[in-house]
Amino acid sequence: MLVLAIDSSATASVALARLHETGYDLLAVRETDDTRSHAEVMAPFVREVLDDAGVASSDLDALVCGTGPGPFTGLRAGIVTARTLGFAWNLPVYGMMSLTALAEEVFDSALAAGHTEILVATDARRREVYSARYALSAGGYELLEGLTVGKAEELADLPAYGRGAGLYPDALQAVEGFSDLQPRARFLLAAAARAGIENLSTDTSALYLRESDAKVPAARKKASA
Amino acid sequence: MTEQPLVLGIESSCDETGIGIVRGTELLTNTVSSSMEEHVRFGGVIPEIASRAHLDAMVPALQAALDEAGVTLDEVDALAVTAGPGLSGALMVGVSAAKALAVATGKPLYGINHLVAHVGVGLLDDSGIEGFSADFLDQLPRGGLGALLVSGGHTEILAVRDITGDVQLLGSTLDDAAGEAYDKVARLLGLNYPGGPAIDKAAASGDSKAFVFPRGLSARKFMGTAEQPGKHRYDFSFSGLKTAVARVVEGFEARGEEVPVADIAASFQEAVVDVITKKAMLACQEQGIKTLLLGGGVAANSRLRTLTAQRCEEHGIKLVIPKLSLCTDNGAMVAALGARLVTEGRAPSGIDFEADSSLPVTTISV
């Protein structure tokens, strides 16, 4: 089946692949390196990816959307794009936690290095990281703990992958060669192929992990004589 | 393109997710989903909460609007969306959704100025403006139309000579919007959010002359003269007014006296409405404007309506007020202006423009 994936949890990316029983064929990809242009690039990326692959929207079977965690404004740009495309094309939209893309991307290498448990982490800004802990086995990876947002120092002492690890090398065992990694849509497709798209959830709620910063104002102090 | 294009407009610049659909000048639906209730406990709009609400309201609002208008996305000729000004995170949701619709359907997309769209409701057959229909904006005298936009996010005077080609900002607030001042003063007085209706209600039984509160930027050094206008002749400032109210309230509290809420509310409201209407009249007179449109959510305020009507009459200016559902933020106004741009054959905006939280009124479409 033809599946289009979108992720805007850190950088912005769009990927198109044909998923089949034993894996997937990547047909086209667009990715940014920067983390602040989601609302501008997302729609053009979708158009370009379809054009590149010579695929008409009517050929698509489903959409996959990274639901975060990630900085709020950029994250919303991707989710609203996926939901609106799904609405207009009358296609199902499956939500996937964005850190899954990192676990998927590093899995082979981490397993080959003999790791049985790893952390993946992305930049949560405010000197914090978003993270998740995975167990690895020959059969695949499994989410053990997370999602969390917090200080890198508070995380388990495990090999750590992703930009979140690279930012805090003193606190985390950042694995060399993987310390700039960001979640990307192509690896959401790989993860979807591994899990079987029929096993995914259609819940695309944004994983903010933090409340809005708004504080309910305290009762006003009355001036006294 | 047809003379009566079917246009879907999206508005998300503040706390309202609005979808409007028009066929030329005919309004088919004006669907609004508001997150206002979620902001009550904060006493003002919280941008992040508004943005989250837009994300979850968008697709349901689109569905509801299409259902209510009895049209399909395929039938739509063009799309329009508020590109700014407004809350940047909130704008981003509407703009991203609109671009996705443009990609999905292949329809042209227009990124539109929110403030000009407020005036664009005058392009609708049934804008609620007495004695006028859709040709209202084309029948204006040479001086064009003045627009006084007063809301929780805006306080502006515009000169609209051509709704798609020539819009000028005559004056605006330097700090708080009028509606924001209402919210803050309501809180000082222990009244509810939103402050506009709460203060309007409390003021009804108060004496508007009980206290004399400052009229911001009314001093000669800001105003100048008609010949040599000062820098802020048509501009507003409400932060000093809010502070003045706070001092009075604190004074009563410090003396252990009961705060005369109704009198303060009435006096505050009079100060706001007096300075807004006075400057609007001045701008109209000096700029040769003979028709004034009142828009924005504060257009619901009874004292603002009364005093604007009274002063317009004194100055020989025709006052027009669209119906309230078209004064507050809505998608219909975006669709209406979009339809006019389509009819005039203006180029669409494409899909790689940015939302601009401070888009100037001179940029009618991006």
Q: Do A84 and B353 touch (CB under 8 A)?
A: no
CB contact under 8 A, A76 and B104: no
Whether B206 and B311 share a structural domain: yes
Does A51 lie at the interface with B, CB-CB under 8 angstroms? Answer: no
Residue B2: predicted pLDDT:
59
Indicate whether A219 pLDDT > 70.
no
pLDDT of residue B138: 81
Is B54 annotated as ligand-binding?
A: no
Query: For residue B330, is it within any domain?
Result: yes
Do the two domains A2-98+184-199 and A99-174 of this chain adopt the same fold? Answer: yes
* DSSP per-residue letters across chain A: -EEEEEE-SSS-EEEEEEEETTEEEEEEEEE-S-SS-HHHHHHHHHHHHHHHHT--GGG--EEEEE--SS-HHHHHHHHHHHHHHHHHHT--EEEE-THHHHHHHHHHHHHHTT-SEEEEEEE-STT-EEEEEEEEETTEEEEEEEEEEE-GGGS-SSEEESHHHHH-TTTSEEPTT-TT----HHHHHHHHHHH-GGGSB--------S--S--PPPPPPPP--
Predicted pLDDT at A21: 84
Residue in B41, B87, B47, B37 with CA at minimum distance from that of residue B187: B41
Same domain, B40 and B108: yes
Residue B27 C-alpha, separation from nearest chain A C-alpha, in angstroms: 22
How far is residue B290's CA from residue B287's CA, in Å, rounded to a whole number? 9
Provide the number of CB pairs (under 8 Å) joining chain A to chain B. 114
Question: For chain A, what are the domain ranges?
Answer: 2-98+184-199, 99-174
A80/B351 Cβ within 8 A? no
Length of chain B: 366
d(CA A102, CA A7): 12
Give the pTM. 0.94
Instruction: List the one residue out of B365, B329, B335, B282 whose CA is nearest residue B32.
Output: B329
Residue B359 maps to a domain: no
Minimal Cβ distance to A89: which of B48, B59, B104: B104
B208 and B248 belong to one structural domain: yes
Question: Taking the alpha carbons of B335, B336, B340, B346 in that order, is the dihedral positive or negative?
Answer: negative
Let me know whether B186 and B331 are in one domain.
no
Same domain, B163 and B279: yes
Which residues make Cβ contacts (< 8 Å) with residue B282, sequence separation at least 6? B233, B234
Q: Are residues B158 and B262 in the same domain?
A: yes
Total domains, chain B: 2
Residue B12 resides in a domain:
yes
Give the one of A81, A217, A224 whose C-beta lies nearest to B100's C-beta: A81
Contact A214 B46 (CB under 8 A): yes
- Are B104 and B167 within one domain? no
**Cβ atoms B13, B153 nearer than 8 A:** yes
At B275, give phi and psi (nearest 5°). -70, -35
pLDDT of residue A223: 64
Option in A46, A72, A89 nearest B48 (CB): A72
The pair phi, psi for residue B206, each rounded to 5°, is: -105, 170
Report chain A's C-alpha Rg in angstroms. Answer: 19
Distance to chain A for B320, nearest Cα, Å: 37
For residue B27, say whether it is annotated as part of any ligand binding site. Answer: no
Cβ(B222)–Cβ(B235) below 8 Å: yes
Q: Is residue B134 one of the residues assigned to a domain? A: no
Phi, psi at residue B141, to the nearest 5°? -65, 170
Q: Which residue has the tokens 């979009």?
A: B338
Q: Any chain B CB within 8 A of the CB of A217?
A: yes
Q: Does B38 touch chain A (CB under 8 A)?
A: no
Distance between CA B213 and CA A41 in Å, rounded? 49
Q: In this structure, what are the phi and psi dihedrals at residue B62, rounded to the nearest 5 degrees?
A: -60, -45
% of chain A surpassing 70 pLDDT? 96
The residues facing A28 across adjacent strands are: A16
Residues B226 and B83 in one domain: no
- Report residue B354 as tokens: 């940015």
Give the C-alpha distances (Å, rounded to integers) separating A191 from A141, A177, A196, B197. Answer: 10, 21, 8, 53
Pick one of 3.30.420.40, 3.40.50.970, 3.40.50.1000, 3.40.50.720 as the CATH number of A2-98+184-199: 3.30.420.40
Q: Report residue B224: phi and psi, to 5°.
A: 65, -150
pLDDT for B211-264, tens place per residue? 999 999 999 999 999 889 999 999 999 999 999 999 999 999 999 999 999 999
> In this structure, are B191 and B207 located in the same domain?
yes
pLDDT digits 0-9 by tens, A85-106? 999 999 999 999 999 999 999 9
Kindly report the number of other CB atoms within 10 A of residue A157's CB atom.
9
Domain-embedded: residue B339? yes
Do B30 and B92 lie in a common domain?
yes
Distance CA A95, CA A203 (A): 5
**Residue B220 falls inside a structural domain:** yes
B107 backbone dihedrals φ, ψ, rounded to 5°? -80, 150
Contacts of A215 in chain B (CB under 8 A): 42
Cα–Cα distance measured from residue A95 to residue B277, given in angstroms and rounded to the nearest whole number: 51
Mind listing the pLDDT tens digit for each residue in A119-171?
999 999 999 999 999 999 999 999 998 899 999 999 999 999 999 999 999 99
Contacts of A222 in chain B (CB under 8 A): 253
B242 and B218 fall within a common domain: yes
Query: Would B360 be classed as within a structural domain?
Result: no
HEC string of chain B equals: CCCCCEEEEEECCCCEEEEEEEECCEEEEEEEEECHHHHHHHCCCCHHHHHHHHHHHHHHHHHHHHHHHCCCHHHCCEEEEEEECCCHHHHHHHHHHHHHHHHHHCCCEEEEEHHHHHHHHHHCCCCCCCCCCHHHHHCCCCCCEEEEEECCCCEEEEEEEECCCEEEEEEEECCCCHHHHHHHHHHHCCCCCCHHHHHHHHHCCCCCCCCCCCCCCCCHHHHECCCCECCCCCCECCHHHHHHHHHHHHHHHHCCCCCCHHHHHHHHHHHHHHHHHHHHHHHHHHCCCCEEEEECHHHHCHHHHHHHHHHHHHCCCEEECCCHHHHCCCHHHHHHHHHHHHHCCCCCCCCCCCCCCCCCCCCCEC
* Residue B354 belongs to some domain of the structure: no
CA–CA gap between residue A164 and residue A66 (Å, rounded): 17
Residue B58 contacts A where some CB pair is shorter than 8 Å: yes
B 81-120 residues with CB below 8 A of A?
A: 88-89, 92-93, 95-97, 99-105
Q: Which of residues 287-316 of B touch A (CB under 8 A)?
A: none
Give the domain range for residue B107: 6-128+326-343
Give the Cα separation of B13 and A173 in Å (integer): 43
Which residues in chain B come in under a pLDDT of 50?
A: 1
Could you read off the pLDDT of A44-76 as tens digits, one per residue? 999 999 999 999 999 999 999 999 999 999 999
Return the structure tokens found at A18: 């044909």
Class of domain A99-174: alpha beta
CB atoms within 10 A of CB A5: 30
- B106, B191: one domain: no
Domain containing residue B117: CATH number:
3.30.420.40
Q: Are B51 and B36 in contact (CB under 8 A)?
A: no
